Chains A and B, each alone.
Chain A
Amino acid sequence: MKLDFGPVLDNLPFLVAGLQGTLTVSAGAIIVGATVGLGIALLRISPSRPLRFLGGLYVDFIRSVPLLIILVLFVYAVPIVIETMTGHSIRIDALLAGMLGLGLYAAAFLAEVFRSGILAVPSGQREAGLSTGMTNRQVFLRVVLPQAARKIIPPATSSILTLVKDSAVTFAIAVPELMAKAGSLNNGLQRPIEVFIVVAVIYLAVTYPLLLISDRLQRSAAAGS
């Protein structure tokens, strides 16, 4: 068998449109994941036992189940829940479902990144802030969070890389992203090796810089501590 990349390269614009979908679903999922993840992290360090339990349950459950199942469950379960609660039937757009499903999945991992970053700030810092009359909120925003951010950024970058790669799985719930385009292009061309290698290269354009940044950040974080 001879490799022929010609037909695949002829369809490059089609694949690049898929890359746009990948970037869109990833960006949406990052926003959802970071927001929900921070919320879950705050639950997990809250003084209230039931809240800590809820946060822990979310993290433990999501991290124990394959993304594919979370996505499929999300697509089928959410309409039923909304239907039952509001009485209105809804249709969730596939792209939105992808953003939310992937985002809620990533949130569990990001929550742990946030939590350990926050906990890495010595308790004396909180004490110092409170002692000068700051409220808990001020202490968190002005003293703890800026210091936690330095610990959070390296592993969060790595989580974002994982998220972008994981976005490929959203094709299984019909999100119009790169993997889905690759699949349909392959159906037409029947050249799986060429198609998927080209797609891999397109992914690399986004993911390889992320990998380099993430590795560098992790290295300097390790050297700094």
Chain B
Amino acid sequence: MMALEGTRGEPIVVVEGLHKSYGNLHVLKGVSMTVVRGEVVVLIGPSGSGKSTFLRCLNRLIDPEKGRIVVAGHEMTNARTDLPKARRQIGLVSQHFNLYPHMTVLQNVMEGPVTVLKLPRDEARQRAHELLSRVGLDDKVASYPRQLSGGQQQRVAIARALAMDPAVMLFDEPTSALDPELTGEVLDVMKKLADDGMTMLVVSHEMHFASRVADRVAMFDDGIIVEEGPTEQIFSRAKEERTRRFLSQLLSWETEDGALTSNPDDGRAGAGSIN
């Protein structure tokens, strides 16, 4: 596994006092968070609570008004930071996959390494093949995104992000646009990634995934983190009433076999969808 040299436990994402508004809508009201290398943090919270906006501030797809963000040694909130260069270190996988429809699966994965990292084509191609076989799609290299199922598209999107050899991976509701029977294959890939030691921030309401994979859960509500802590503690002994209420709403959707696959956001991203 690449990108994981460095000591586990050293802070790799540091966020201090993040604020963001859209007109009168105050989406983030002072969010701080530290994530250490190798940690998996799941962000939960109701629709519009600021989770997606927070995630997109981390790689500066959204410009925060106030606050400081450091990711993998890049001070993202500094005007002099070379954003394209810093973003190579931060993979983003979003709800709608956003694969390039005019490129094949292989080209999708090769595009970043060739255009941005200036890797020789042969090397980029070989690496793309490796990554696609890691997500179980080496037989689809010549397909176009529209020929794939949603689950397959999302796995390609993960491979595309990994091709940049990122230090951190951000997932914004990676399974919420998928049919229930397709979420498993994506979550499996994500779990493997976590097992390999990737640092991950995941906006998701897949409780089953969170309880098995996450080191920590952060509960967002109304633009702040109302509570965060070890997964087990948040799920079984949340201190905040808001967290308990939110979790019980999620649980009331629990399917019979115990797998939690439904999403109270009804497939819509939170405040991030404003952009």
Contacts and interface: CB of A to CB of B under 8 A. Distances in A.
A contacts B directly in the complex (CB < 8 Å)? yes
Interface of A: 122-125, 127-128, 130-135, 138, 142-143, 146-147, 150
A168 B69 CA distance: 61
A122 B96 CA distance: 10
Contacts of A147: 100-102
Interface of B: 56, 59, 61, 84-88, 90-92, 94, 96, 98-102, 111-112, 115-117, 157, 160-161, 163-164, 275
Going nearest first, the 8 A-B pairs with the smallest beta carbon separation are: A132-B112, A133-B88, A124-B98, A128-B98, A131-B92, A133-B116, A133-B87, A146-B102
A127 B111 contact: no
Given A135-B84, A146-B102, A147-B102, A124 B116 contact: no
Given A123-B275, A127-B61, A142-B111, A132 B88 contact: yes
Given A124-B98, A125-B98, A131 B59 contact: yes
B94 A124 contact: yes
Contacts of A146: 102
A132 B85 contact: no
Contacts of B61: 127, 130-131
Given A123-B275, A133-B116, A134-B115, A128 B87 contact: no
Nearest to A121: B101
A132 B96 contact: no
Contact of A131 (B90, B101, B102, B117): B90
A146 B85 CA distance: 24
A127 B92 contact: yes
Residue among A125, A131, A138, A142 with the most chain B CB within 10 A? Answer: A131
A147 B90 CA distance: 25
Nearest to B94: A124
Contacts of B164: 132-133
Contact of B100 (A125, A133, A135, A138): A125
Contacts of B161: 131-132
A147 B102 CA distance: 7
A133 B61 CA distance: 11
Contact of A124 (B85, B96, B102): B96
A132 B115 CA distance: 10
Contact of B116 (A123, A125, A138, A150): A138
24 contacts: A124-B94, A125-B98, A125-B100, A127-B98, A128-B92, A128-B94, A128-B157, A128-B160, A130-B84, A131-B59, A131-B61, A131-B90, A131-B91, A132-B88, A132-B112, A132-B116, A132-B163, A133-B88, A133-B116, A135-B84, A138-B116, A142-B111, A142-B115, A150-B102
Given A128-B160, A132-B161, A133-B112, 4 more contacts: A125-B100, A130-B61, A131-B61, A132-B112
A131 B87 contact: yes
B100 A143 contact: yes
A211 B61 CA distance: 43
Contacts of B88: 132-133
Contact of A133 (B85, B96, B98): B85
Contacts of B85: 133
Contacts of A122: 96, 98
Nearest to A138: B115
Nearest to A145: B102
A127 to B, nearest CB: 6
B199 to A, nearest CB: 16
A128 B96 CA distance: 10
A132 B59 CA distance: 10
Contacts of B59: 130-131
Contacts of A150: 102
Contacts of B101: 147
Nearest to B163: A132
Contacts of A130: 59, 61, 84, 87
Contacts of A132: 87-88, 91, 111-112, 116, 160-161, 163-164
A134 B117 CA distance: 9
A125 B56 CA distance: 14
A143 B117 CA distance: 16
